[in-house]
Chain A
């Protein structure tokens, strides 16, 4: 029976991939994501100028051959700034999502698997936390404890895990009652092994979808906070911060707003499409066979 499960798993992923590849927008999203990750990793090697290199005499200039995306008021190359800013934005996105992921999966899996009172209590906590105005609390946290990048990850992660927990829990509950779990039980496998080897792999589908959708939401949240002055602090910058600076001078130097804006919007766009596409691809209801 273990073999049958493996077999089914493989064909589900292959199936999903086939469906995904038919969805052009989702493929576009995937391409953008890969390109972003590659660029961010390689930035220190491929950035045309140094991150801090100023040229006060030049000041802000429009896009030109030497500076493809122009320069800011200190004469710093915008392409470089956007690349480095992207690193930070993506890093916040991935790490905060990872935090949310870990907490959410564990919470949801435990609640869903053990059910009963433990489940009731755990989900009640989730419901209660759901009702709180998180933006306000995050602002409060950032103001109280200073704008530490680590705290930013934790604060954002602490907001996003709730929905993840709900999704995982409902998946796990559905799976728990299926036959292969009963079979595994009767074979004498420990609870933990069952969770690890059977439940979690089968919840991967919705988890992947939701993760892909959480990352842009987190990036948006970080940009929002940075725009208000409560997120990433100089000298680091993120896209949100670059947009903040761009808004100040958008009449004289519109490229300072437009390019970071495009970068952020495009990324969010791409990731959302990818997530939607993944959701459709992995949805067994629309399976062809």
Chain B
């Protein structure tokens, strides 16, 4: 390869060949790449045909409601399946779903549901009470590995059956009295039980389809894939192209099909939220799953009505491994918690209207507003740290913040690293790992500080506080307080009024905050962009869309 050489004679003739050829070829490429289609955007064509384009984060792994655990999966599952009871999309009050009515006994432990007689599966099969008995039986099979099996534990004997103490499922408190009547018996009066029925782990699944593709407790069969899935929801699965789109169409057998306005929903998996926002601006999506932090301020300043920020039932927090020497003293833990300037963090880093969190349970959870004495107090933090034996940060051992690889988490970790350096003079390093490796490290206790988040599955403080029970699989801090366990497991459920329950929870919460095995940082908000043609969207704290209510109507220009 000779770069510049001067040994060759030049010919003065002009050569038009190369330029002509170049032009021709470029034209060919241009046309073959553009295609000659029209340039209408998804949003405008979707508005005409009743098709909603929904940006859905990562590609879903499985649509099996008793195996899947992620939010992207949840969005699709709630389109093709439905539970006994729905939630009002604004107030989250229970509303009839497949069950058109229900009775609860005086003592609150026996629920009797009356199912609609026009309830059907998407292939026309009648949908009866026995379906629920079978589905919940399946959900409790240990080999299935249902990570939400515990959601069924309020039901009498469900936990014992799951753990093998009882082997006859007939002893579990769910029975089909006849085709349209389902009776459920609980251990205690559980005020949030009706909410649980709207959680996808309690959705019914179609027995014949599952058994066509494997045994009932076999994981990872093909029964949820395109061409196979049968559900009882307002939509049915018609197409699934991996990494491209999942398409659902209205289900004519759905009991409320007449009131469903949308004809089709196209879920598009987009991992990169920066790209997703661009697609929204280009009219490719009606709804995005999220929004990059740096763009939030742009939309806010423009007072753009398409920006929807709503409180989200979740807490962003850091776990402290109390087994490590430097974290065995609660004063050290509290010192770290007190030197985080949460307001600055949500204003300058996350920017999504998040609320600084000084307790684990989000405020407003079913009327519960946790009281906390935690606040940003660098002076007090330094004193505590000195008392604990590290005056001025001297002698504090090497400590790492572990987080799963993600831009947002990195930003928070970098900010906190700086805050702890500035306020406590301790050196913290950062370590990021992929999701799976990170989970393994956390479970194995191989971390010092670890980033964590918990999104509530139902609206009740129990869901947040029972994370830190002694043996809880989601505890992972090594913290164990038997009095705390007693409050959550024995005292709270036995309270007769909601107010009394909340008081017990407050006691437990105070205990948790005094010992600070975790550092609450902020309460989540859901931030997304919603096109103005999408009506009846109504953000709520569960971030649960009600697809059957949504309709598309472009605003008049």
Q: Interface of A with B (CB < 8 Å)?
A: 23, 52, 54, 56-57, 59-60, 73-74, 143, 229, 233-235, 247-249, 251-253, 276-277, 279-280, 286
CB pair A234 B430 closer than 8 Å: yes
Point out the residue from A56, A249, A277 that lies within 8 Å of B294, measured CB to CB: A249
- The docked-state distance in angstroms from the alpha carbon of A280 to that of B5 is 9
Interface SS of A by simple majority: loop
CB pair A248 B3 closer than 8 Å: no
CB pair B415 A74 closer than 8 Å: yes
Interface SS of B by simple majority: helix
Chain B residue with the shortest CB-CB distance to A252: B294
State whether the Cβ of B429 lies closer than 8 Å to any Cβ in chain A.
yes
State whether the Cβ of B167 lies closer than 8 Å to any Cβ in chain A.
no
Q: Which residues of B contact A73 (CB under 8 A)?
A: 294, 349, 411
Most chain A CB within 10 A, of B2, B3, B421, is at B3
Q: Which residues of B contact A247 (CB under 8 A)?
A: 274
State whether the Cβ of B432 lies closer than 8 Å to any Cβ in chain A.
yes
Q: List 27 A-B contacts (CB under 8 A).
A: A52-B421, A54-B415, A54-B418, A56-B418, A57-B344, A57-B348, A60-B294, A73-B411, A74-B414, A74-B415, A74-B418, A143-B434, A233-B432, A234-B414, A234-B432, A235-B429, A235-B430, A247-B274, A248-B274, A248-B407, A249-B292, A252-B294, A252-B298, A253-B294, A276-B3, A277-B3, A280-B4
State whether the Cβ of B410 lies closer than 8 Å to any Cβ in chain A.
yes
> Given A54-B415, A74-B415, A280-B4, are A234 and B348 also a contact pair (CB < 8 Å)?
no
Q: Which of B407-438 contact A (CB under 8 A)?
A: 407, 410-411, 414-415, 417-418, 421, 429-430, 432, 434
Q: Which of B104-145 contact A (CB under 8 A)?
A: none
- B350 vs chain A, min Cβ distance (A): 11
Q: Which residues of A contact B344 (CB under 8 A)?
A: 56-57
> Given A248-B274, A252-B298, are A234 and B418 also a contact pair (CB < 8 Å)?
no
- A167 vs chain B, min Cβ distance (A): 14
- Counting from the closest, the 3 A-B pairs by CB-CB distance are A56-B348, A276-B3, A54-B418
CB pair B292 A229 closer than 8 Å: no
- The docked-state distance in angstroms from the alpha carbon of A276 to that of B2 is 8
- The docked-state distance in angstroms from the alpha carbon of A235 to that of B191 is 47
Known A74-B411, A249-B294; further 14 A-B contacts with Cβ < 8 A: A52-B421, A56-B348, A56-B415, A57-B344, A57-B348, A74-B415, A74-B418, A235-B417, A235-B429, A248-B294, A249-B292, A251-B295, A252-B295, A276-B3
- A240 vs chain B, min Cβ distance (A): 15
- The docked-state distance in angstroms from the alpha carbon of A252 to that of B430 is 27
Q: Which residues of A contact B418 (CB under 8 A)?
A: 52, 54, 56, 74
- B341 vs chain A, min Cβ distance (A): 8
- The docked-state distance in angstroms from the alpha carbon of A235 to that of B274 is 23
Q: Which residues of A contact B411 (CB under 8 A)?
A: 73-74
State whether the Cβ of B405 lies closer than 8 Å to any Cβ in chain A.
yes
- The docked-state distance in angstroms from the alpha carbon of A78 to that of B429 is 21
Interface string of B206-220 (1 = CB under 8 A from A): 000000000000000
Q: Which of B384-424 contact A (CB under 8 A)?
A: 405, 407, 410-411, 414-415, 417-418, 421
Q: Which residues of A contact B2 (CB under 8 A)?
A: 280
- The docked-state distance in angstroms from the alpha carbon of A74 to that of B434 is 24
Q: Which residues of A contact B3 (CB under 8 A)?
A: 276-277, 279-280
Chain A residue with the shortest CB-CB distance to B344: A56
Interface string of B1-41 (1 = CB under 8 A from A): 01111000000000000000000000000000000000000
- The docked-state distance in angstroms from the alpha carbon of A56 to that of B414 is 11
Most chain B CB within 10 A, of A73, A229, A253, A276, is at A73
Chain B residue with the shortest CB-CB distance to A58: B348
Chain B residue with the shortest CB-CB distance to A245: B407
Q: Which residues of A contact B421 (CB under 8 A)?
A: 52
- B409 vs chain A, min Cβ distance (A): 11
CB pair A248 B292 closer than 8 Å: yes
- B346 vs chain A, min Cβ distance (A): 11
- B294 vs chain A, min Cβ distance (A): 5
Interface string of B152-179 (1 = CB under 8 A from A): 0000000000000000000000000000
